[in-house]
Amino acid sequence: MGKTMYATFDGRVLRPDGLIELEPNTRVKITIETEEKPKTKRKSFLQTARSLQLEGPSDWSARLEDYLYEDKKSQ
């Protein structure tokens, strides 16, 4: 039986991040792989949107439907 789970090493022991469904004193085989830390911090949606420096009418949010479907209404 195999199961992949995450744990945190506190300097002395590995502490599982979730419950382990094993009987006490069950012998297990452990393979340790460290997680790579992200190289850059992810930007929020708002930070990404602002970085695009989009230009448009000041009433975009109020008239979004009009701008999205303007061509369909005139047909």
Query: Please, which pLDDT band fits residue 69 given cuts at 50, 70 and 90?
Result: confident
**Does any domain span residue 39?**
yes
Distances (CA, A) of 5 to 16, 19, 26, 35: 8, 9, 17, 12
Beta strands (DSSP E) in the chain are 7-9, 14-16
* Mean pLDDT calculated for residue range 23-50: 86
Alpha helical stretches, state H, 1-75 = 45-51, 64-74
**Does any domain span residue 28?**
yes
Report the pLDDT value the prediction gives residue 11, as an integer from 0 to 100: 92
Domain that holds residue 25: 7-74
State how far the Cα of 42 lies from the Cα of 51, in Å rounded to an integer: 13
Number of domains in the chain: 1
**pLDDT above 90: percentage of residues in the chain:** 16
| pTM of the entire predicted model | 0.40
**Does any domain span residue 31?**
yes
**Does any domain span residue 2?**
no
Query: Please, which pLDDT band fits residue 25 given cuts at 50, 70 and 90?
Result: very high
